């Protein structure tokens, strides 16, 4: 005679449910790491680190420029300094950051890329390349404002296209 064993769904489910309740009960009854009963531990307190400061996207101060003496020397970014490029040196901004520099005397604006560290002299916030200083109308020292730009800034896109010196090609209209 053939023997058949039947296992009902309710028996398997009851076993799984019982095991789940047992594990959950053990977890809830175990003390927390700090010795307090489980479930009553206070939420963790998140404290701000003292070194965390808001990033300043604007800076106002004295700008200077540097040119022929440094032409061809390596910058902090590893590239050769080009006094005819639209670049600058800044003490703390990440290399490769784009800035909108505005001369506060005549309100001329230039877009420059940080590729070096400096200025060395105290009291100055940026050293501009000769080309950037000429664009701003700086003959020596001058008061400027710096604005850190994001990659989605339309003025930055136009400035980058101008630096590439690619002619704007418009499609021929179809008649």
The domain total for the chain is 1
Does some domain include residue 19?
A: no
- Considering the domain boundaries, does residue 76 fall inside one? yes
Q: What is the pLDDT along the chain (175 residues), one digit of tens a residue?
A: 555 444 444 455 555 555 556 555 555 555 555 555 555 555 554 444 443 344 548 899 999 998 888 999 999 989 999 999 999 999 999 999 999 999 999 999 999 999 999 998 889 999 999 999 999 999 899 999 999 988 778 877 777 777 676 566 666 665 5
Does residue 30 form part of some domain? no
Q: CA 99 to CA 86: how far, in whole Å?
A: 10
Q: What is the pTM of this model?
A: 0.60
With respect to residue 136, please indicate whether it lies within any of the assigned structural domains: yes
Contact 135, 87 (CB under 8 A): no
CATH number at residue 67: 2.40.40.10
Give a yes or no: residue 108 inside a domain: yes
3 state SS of 109: strand
Tell me if 145 sits within 8 A of 59, measured CB to CB. yes
| Cis-peptide, bond into residue 33, ω within 30° of zero | no
> Could you tell me if residue 66 is inside a domain?
yes
């Amino acid at each position: 005679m053939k023997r058949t064993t039947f296992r009902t769904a309710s028996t398997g489910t009851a076993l799984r449910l019982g095991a789940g309740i047992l594990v959950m009960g053990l977890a809830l009854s175990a003390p927390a790491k700090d010795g307090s009963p489980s479930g009553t531990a206070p939420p963790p307190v998140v404290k701000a680190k003292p070194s965390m400061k808001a990033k300043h996207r604007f800076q106002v101060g004295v700008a200077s420029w540097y040119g022929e003496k440094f032409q061809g020397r390596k910058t902090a970014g590893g590239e050769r300094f080009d006094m005819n490029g639209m670049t600058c040196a800044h003490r703390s901004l990440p290399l490769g950051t784009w800035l909108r520099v505005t001369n506060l005397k005549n309100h001329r604006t230039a877009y420059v890329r940080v590729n070096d560290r400096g200025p060395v002299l105290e009291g100055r916030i940026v050293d501009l390349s000769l080309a950037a200083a000429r664009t701003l109308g700086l003959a020596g020292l001058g008061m400027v404002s710096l604005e850190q730009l994001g990659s989605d800034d339309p003025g930055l896109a136009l400035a980058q296209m101008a630096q590439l010196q690619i002619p704007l090609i418009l499609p021929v209209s179809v008649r």
